[in-house]
Structure 1
Amino acid sequence: MLRQLSDLPCLPRSSSIIVAALAQCTRLLSTTTSSSSSSSSSSPGLFGIKRLQSPGDFPRWAEDAKSRCGELVGQVLAAPPDASVVRLVDDISDEMCQVYDSAECCRNVHAEPAWQKAASQACQLLGDFLAEINHHRGLYDKLKQAQAAHSASAAAAASSNPADAQLSIGAQLLSRAQLAKFCPETLVVASKYCQDFEKYGIHLTSSSQRAEVARLLALNQHYPARFNAALADHRQLGSTAVPGRLLPAEWRRAAGATGRVSVPLDGGSVHHVLVHAEDEAARKQVYLAGAAAPAANLALLDDMLACRHQLAQLLGYPSYAAFKAADSTLAGTPEAAGSFLEDLAGGCRLQAQQELAALSRLKQQHTGAAGAVLQPWDQDFYTRQLALSLPQHADAAAAAAPYLVLGSVLGGLSELLQRLMGLQLKRRQLGPGEGWGAGLLKYEVVCSRLGLLGTLYLDLVARPGKVPSSGMLYPVKCGRELPGGGYQQPVLCLVGNLASSNSSSSSDLSGLPLSWREFKTLLHEMGHATHSMVSRTKYQHVWGTRCSQDIVEVPSHLWEHFATDSRSLALLARHADTRQPLPPQLARQLAGLSSATPALELQQQALLSLVDLVYHGPQLPSEAGGTSSVWSSLASKQGSFLPPPGTCPQARFSHLTIYGASYYSYLYARCLSEALWETHLAADPLDATAGHNIRQLLLEPGGALEPLDLLTAALGGLACREHVLHQRHKGWCPNPQSLLRSVEKGLVVQS
């Protein structure tokens, strides 16, 4: 999952990919870093950045970047209104991104508090400076002048005598040489930079309106931070005392003298009880208590939605959903996305009802009560029971363990990438001071045609002070064409908590087994990493995953399909000792164990996406009975359960803060990846021609092409596009039929 950390035009699309579980290759280095050791002059520096030898280098680098950007601003203002303006603004963006992105990664992963503190200081220093850049009218005006000069000059050139060496209708017209430097990507990037400035209200004529936009933008960062902090605050989440005899065995040991266990209401604990507790009373108690907390988030949600609504209207949009959709998305309008979600929910309704009936029968058999009714707190428990009841599924995980070990999977992934795209993952040793904790790996991504593409670090060991998320992909350095020639090689850091620091003491996790879900997640995240590594853009602003929100997840979902074909699985999942491929029958069992009710899961995701759109629509929920009333109304039409009285699932829906009117993008990506798989890889998932087309048409352009143009090319042209994309409500949405067919048959491994 990809989260945008958009703060400014100069740092507009710095992104972190949120994952569930990650993987790495063969040997794990046990590398601990200290300030004293990293000060060696022979050290390559943290993340391979030579100037990061000690913690104090981060704030010094931030100050240097501010000074350099000040010089670049002066160059922009003095430049003629031509393509050099776009390049200079991108230079500012890259200068700031290199410091900010590496500092953001460091403060979340470094084992030493001194480094974390220094990186946080650098982020703060840049944040204050970037607020000035965001509202720099001179930069915005110069970009608009460059756009106007290009438009006028292009029109004049079309009607002028081609023999003329110089166009001469007004002072702002460009020479033919200047005009030629406006390539299509330059025009796209100029437009995107202007749009980013306008998100901060720089185009508004009233100073009071601009000040109000600035205030609302600050609040729009404040509310999500508080909302998500509450989800990690045990004091706000609370706990509920459950009789120990009703809980799974692993909980009973915590029973006190009263025989009751205090179950914390964090997401992990609640989920564990709902999945594993045999007793319905225990599940019900924990579900109801968890779904009513944290209560403080209800007011925060109302405030956040009101803030976003007011911001959108100040910027000239009827709703925050319309504001987000206008940001170069495929959907184009929230109505197009909403229409797609309704079609998808309707298309899976019958199968969802059938799956719900199967769960109801299981409950009746389990309880011995013919009239037992399935309740919301029953779904997770009986979904697991359904999966375990399928033939031989109970032993599938154990049988698959030798085939899904870390080293073997990553070795197979490297071979897959080499066959498809001529890429290799080459293991390299970390130098002194280059790492930030124990158990790190460094890979160079090498192309048979272009040579070294970039560097990928893997940090999969949980340790104190490390970001508690299950995983993220940090862009430490973005790719782009260098002004003096050559290409800036990207640096990525793939961070997860696959292993604990205790289990990594041997410094070799190559034999660590992955679950099927972790295996698929690895493929998903390597789709993101590959997208970034092979992207070849002129400007870093549109490099790799810095593209439309409803496009960015397409490559990662496409990569998951390699787990559905026996030909690609023969490379990816091989027995650690015999090297035999994972038997397709076993893969089918694992897939069923992972998702026994695919239609119910799809229905729930469609419902959550609709909630997200409606909450951010033209009518505030507070004007329509409240967020709980809106949720219940949508669930009655598109879901399988109504929220029980007293519960508020919206208080735990953190994607409202991260995505804000764009959660639908995951379902867009699932549909589009199905179509791309059928177009290019279904016939042969190892075909080099197909791999070349995916690389050239889908991955290399990054965000340099508008979403519709990118997909038209990737799908094989207009005729093919018509079968995949529909135009509705002045926007575009995918045909859901391919995804619905996939859900209908389940995740079947094709032999």
Structure 2
Amino acid sequence: MAQRFIIRDGATKHDMMVSDEGGHSQQHNITSQQAGRLLFCSQHKNIGFAVASFNTKPNKLLSLQFTANGSTGLFGLPELQEPGGFYLLKENAIIETQDLVDECCSHNRSRKIVEVFDELSDTLCRVADLAEFVRIAHPQPRFSHSAEDACIAIGGLVEKLNTHRKLYDCLSDVVHRGDKFPTTDVDKLVAKLFLFDFEQSGIHLSDENRGKVVGLNESILTLGQHFMTGTLQPRAIPKVNLSQNIRQHFAIDGDNIIVSGLFADAHMELTREAAYKIFLYPDPHQEHLLTELINGRHTMATLCGFSSYAHRAVNGSLAESPEFVVSFLKLLAKEIMPRAKKDFAEMESMKKSQYAKSRSLAPWDVPYFTSQARRSKFQISGSDLAPYFSLGAVMEGLSNLLHSLYDVTLQLQEPSNGELWANDVYKLAVVHGSEGVLGYIYCDFYERQGKAHQDCHFTIRGGKLLSDGSYQSPIVVLHLNLPPPNWGTPSLLTPGMVENLFHEMGHALHSMLARTQYQHVTGTRCSTDFAEVPSILMEFFALDARVLATFARHYKTGERLPTQLVEKMVASKSVFGASEMQLQTFYSLLDQRLHGEERWESSTTTTTHILEQVQNEYYGLPYVQNTAWQLRFGHLVGYGAKYYAYLVSRAVASWIWQQYFSQDPFNREMGEKYREEVLSHGGGKPPRAMVGEFLAREVTPHNMVEALMMDLDHKKVRVESALSL
């Protein structure tokens, strides 16, 4: 896989922010200055209107008439009235790119080189990221195909830039010797980020080694694609090998049993055990693909001057080094062990009470008894709570929270003809009380046929300071899969959907509230372990009883969600939190071991051998012989050497919550401080130093683990309190 230096590695990961259980991408100005209808306000007189606005679908059917007179085109771009407009956008970007490359390489350059590079990045991102979203999300094939062609064309252009030696030399000279124009710390940091992204393709190496890096990148991409395909493949075994009393629980194809997952919710233990052992049985081909992938990454990283692939992946992050990551994870593993042991003891007790001939707790039991405990302890379900979480009520709660914290309101805007890709998309302007419009959020909330089943945040255009002193407003899309309203019933959300919506809005706010000089580091365009901090912090607000009390009410009667139900709902999310955190720690340590300097003991060591060692040392339940769950773990492709980021992000978000918002989740002073000192900088400041300054305490493994342990202790108290109601 050839790395992109203009659309940098860190940016491409987060320009499409995907919700992840373990946890899991810049655009054109919308020129319409239509006065938006005020959608949300804290005054009670506007509450009904706010709920009504989101409890019915938009009905602007004309927005789909892409060829009608007066159409502005997708996202307000006149070029995109028709699919062929992508050709024009692409050609213009190519011309502008050449002019900017010439400017970078000119002896008569009249501005800082980092300013030229950022404009070059912005020129390519505004086409590439827009096209990537349309390729994925547009329901009409003619638009998605044209967008895909633009993606391929821009990708080819970036490949040429990756090998443009003169362009690299000009940037490298400025980074190492200084620019001929005065530069700031931000200028220097962003220039270094551009240089690092440039060098990931090996342009600074000899011709021979650069060719090796290019070949390795392509091989790694192919191996990753094949490995991902293999993670989803069902496993077939002769049905005679399976006990007759559980065969009916699986699909049967002739003489074979087909096992397509772990059957974690199956009541019979034998069914769960069989599914676990069959589905996770080691696959030699998957083992080969993963080994070749990891070895290829290591070789590529060392060719580029890194000690390991982990050093390459963590460079420039909040953690800054694999040594910091491993120190944090090992300390966390030590601290979490006694708490997780108590969780497992309770699960084992549940198992003994449920089964007459019970065996010891096993890995296939953990998801089942976690789910059982949440239901049995609190006697609530998502369907019981959904009537209190209409989409309109949740959006009202979000808006009131944003107004309290940041003096921000959301204004529902009437889209121009042709601006949308589907007729059920909402357009919001994010408006600050004194700064005016900060940016635009397009809310593609409802599930529909052919729509990707992932909750995502897409950056369509990044914010940046323009040469005339104005600011290029960011544009993002929130891409969810909520049930649509029907037959007079609004879209009703489960608590998990509410949490996901808050999470994705956290990403959007990072883009909206950032005010960076350069788009290359705006909003979520920062390291993985810092990009998730704002979104995870929003989950704390979503699970706070005081916040929920402001908007959770029955869509028919207007009745508030009873306090006891609020407490039980929040507590249910905290059940067995220690064992869940231990599992994430174990996953992260395995990922670091596979990608670190000390990866293999000998040439005969396999990833499964390493799995067994790490699991037996750091997880509370022993490894099950002849299983290899890592061969089903697709995150090793997308988050190689970065899976730890979820825990680091959660630690920092917990720390921020405890220090600034736990006492008062509506505190304007704290909200504005958080925006000014953290969100506004995007990736424009070294994240660890920035977080440390904000928290007035050094970010160390010990301090982060302490924050996570405090969070677990609070959750334990929450569970005990709810059980006493």
TM-score (norm 2): 0.88
2:412 equivalent to 1:448:
no
CA 1:67–1:476 in structure 2 vs 1: closer, same or farther (change >3 Å)? same
Matches within 5 A, 1:151-190: 174=180, 178-179=181-182, 182-190=183-191
Structure 1: gaps spanning 5 or more residues: 152-173, 727-731
Contact 1:244 1:255 in 2 (8 A): no
1:166 equivalent in structure 2: none
Give the direction of change, closer, same or farther, for the CA distance of 1:347–1:699 in structure 2 (3 Å limit): same
CA distance in 1, matches of 2:215, 2:274: 42
Number of residue pairs matched by the alignment: 685
Q: SS of the residue aligned with 1:139?
A: helix
Once the two structures are superposed, residues 393-424 of structure 1 have per-residue CA deviations (whole angstroms, 9 ceiling, x without a partner) of 22354543332221101111001101110111
Is the 8 Å Cα contact of residues 34 and 112 (structure 1) preserved in structure 2?
A: no
Alignment match, 1:319 = 308
State which of 517, 525, 540 in structure 2 corresponds to 1:561.
Answer: 540
Q: Is 1:373 matched with 2:360?
A: yes
Between 621-630 and 101-110, the greater mean CA deviation after superposition: 621-630
Q: Distance in 2 between matches of 1:184 and 1:132?
A: 29
Q: Distance in 2 between matches of 1:297 and 1:89?
A: 41
8 Å Cα contact 2:277/2:627 also seen in 1: yes
Mapped to 2, the partners of 1:452 and 1:199 lie a distance apart of: 37
The Cα of 1:25 is off from its aligned counterpart by: 3.6
Contact conserved, 1:10 with 1:90, CA < 8 A, in 2? Answer: no
CA contact (8 A) 2:223 2:289 kept: yes
Candidates 648, 659, 662, aligned match of 1:682: 662
Indicate if the aligned counterparts of 1:321 and 1:334 stay in contact, CA closer than 8 A: yes
Structure 1 pair 380–295 and aligned structure 2 pair: CA distance change class (3 A)? farther
In 2, Cα distance between the equivalents of 1:5 and 1:410?
Answer: 41
Whether contact under 8 Å (2:462, 2:472) holds in the other structure is: yes
Query: Does residue 451 of structure 2 align to residue 462 of structure 1?
Result: no
Q: Normalising by structure 1, what TM-score?
A: 0.85
Distance across 2 between alignment mates of 1:410 and 1:5: 41
Matched, 1:359 2:344: no
Matched-pair identity in %: 30
Inter-CA distance 594–478: structure 2 relative to 1 (3 Å threshold): same
Q: For residue 86 of structure 1, what is the amino acid of its counterpart?
A: V
Paired AA for residue 459 in structure 2: P
Partner of residue 31, structure 2: none
**Map of 1:606 onto structure 2:** 585
Q: Is it true that 1:693 corresponds to 2:673 in the alignment?
A: yes
CA offset at residue 637 of structure 1? 0.8
The aligned residue for residue 369 of structure 2 is 382
The match for 2:293 among 290, 304, 320 is: 304
**What is the Cα deviation at residue 480 of structure 1?**
0.6
Q: Return the offset for 1:464.
A: 3.6
Alignment of structure 1 residues 353-502 onto 2, 5 Å: 353-369=341-357, 372-390=359-377, 393-395=378-380, 397-468=382-453, 470-499=454-483
Any conservation in 2 of the 1:38–1:45 contact (CA below 8 Å)?
Answer: yes
Q: In structure 2, the residue corresponding to 1:374 is in which secondary structure?
A: coil
- Match of 1:467, SS state, is coil
1:39 to 1:348, Cα distance in 2 relative to 1, 3 A: same
Tell me the distance in 2 between the aligned counterparts of 1:6 and 1:584: 52
| Cα separation, 2, equivalents of 1:630 and 1:518 | 36
Structure 2 residue runs of 5 or longer lacking an equivalent are 25-50
Distance 1:463 1:481 in 2: 37
Q: CA deviation at 1:641?
A: 2.6
Return the match for 1:596 from 563, 575, 582.
Answer: 575
SS at the partner of 1:530? Answer: helix
Instruction: Judge conservation of contact 2:478–2:505 (CA < 8 Å) in 1.
Output: no
Instruction: Note the 1:196-275 alignment, pairs <5 A.
Output: 196-204=197-205, 206-232=206-232, 234=233, 246=246, 264-265=259-260, 270-271=261-262, 273-275=263-265
User: 1:18 and 1:240, CA in 2 relative to 1: closer, same or farther beyond 3 A?
Assistant: farther
The offset of 1:40, in angstroms, is 3.0
SS in 1 for 2:319: coil
CA distance in 2, matches of 1:55, 1:376: 50
| From 6, 10, 27, the counterpart of 2:56 | 27
Question: 2:85 aligned to 57, 60, 68, which one?
Answer: 57
Q: Does 1:118 align with 2:146?
A: yes
2:361 counterpart letter in structure 1: L
Residues 485 and 491, structure 2, Cα contact 8 Å, conserved in 1? no
Q: Which residue of structure 2 aligns with residue 171 of structure 1?
A: none
Most deviating of 601-610 and 483-492: 483-492
Corresponding residue number in structure 2 for 1:8: 5
| RMSD of aligned Cα (Å) | 2.9
Residues 71-98 of structure 1: per-residue CA shift (max 9 Å, x gap): 1111111155675211111111111101
Residues 79, 85 of structure 1: 8 Å contact kept = no
Matched, 1:743 2:723: no
Q: 2:280 aligns with which of 263, 287, 291?
A: 291
Kept after mapping to 1: 8 A contact 2:412/2:427: yes
The Cα offsets for residues 40-96 of structure 1, whole Å up to 9 and x where unpaired, read as 341121122221111121133212211220111111111556752111111111111
Give how far 1:601 is off.
Answer: 0.3
Residues 261 and 683 (structure 1), Cα distance of their counterparts in 2 relative to 1, 3 Å cut: farther
Match of 1:339 in 2: 327
Inter-partner Cα distance in structure 2 for 1:448 and 1:631: 53
Deviations 1:411-451 (A, max 9, x none): 11001101110111111223332222352221111111211
Label 1:542 to 1:646 Cα distance change in 2 as closer, same or farther (>3 A).
same
Return the alpha-carbon distance in structure 1 between the equivalents of residues 702 and 470 of structure 2.
38
Instruction: Give 1:516's aligned residue.
Output: 495
Residue identity opposite 1:626 in structure 2 = T
Distance 1:6 1:532, change over 3 A: farther
Any idea what SS the aligned residue of 1:446 has? strand
Taking structure 1 as reference, are residues 692 and 619 closer, same or farther at Cα in structure 2, changes over 3 Å only?
Answer: same
Tell me if structure 1 keeps the 8 A contact 2:55–2:491: no
Find the counterpart in structure 1 of residue 47 from structure 2.
Answer: none
Contact 1:109 1:466 in 2 (8 A): yes
Q: Is the Cα contact below 8 Å between 2:63 and 2:417 reproduced in 1?
A: no
In 2, Cα distance between equivalents of 1:611 and 1:702: 30
- SS of the residue corresponding to residue 662 of structure 1 reads coil
Q: Does the 8 A contact of 2:80 with 2:86 survive in 1?
A: yes
Please tell me whether the aligned partners of residues 111 and 465 of structure 1 are also in contact (alpha carbons under 8 angstroms): yes
Q: 1:293 to 1:624 in 2, by over 3 A?
A: closer
Deviation at 1:496, TM superposition (A): 2.0
* 8 A Cα contact 1:402 1:575, kept in partner: yes
Matches of 1:398 and 1:226, distance apart in 2: 38
Determine if contact 1:416/1:572 at 8 Å carries over to the other structure: no
Q: Judge which range, 345-354 or 303-312, deviates more.
A: 345-354
> Counterpart amino acid of 2:228?
N
Equivalent residue number for residue 532 of structure 1: 511
Give how far 1:462 is off. Answer: 2.8
Contact 1:534–1:695 (CA<8 Å) still a contact in 2? Answer: yes
Q: Secondary structure at the match of 1:292?
A: coil
Q: Which amino acid aligns with 1:685?
A: P
Contact 2:439 2:475 in 1 (8 A): yes
SS at match of 2:531: coil
Pair 1:655 & 2:617 matched = no
The Cα shift of 1:340 comes to 0.7
The residue aligned with 2:32 is none
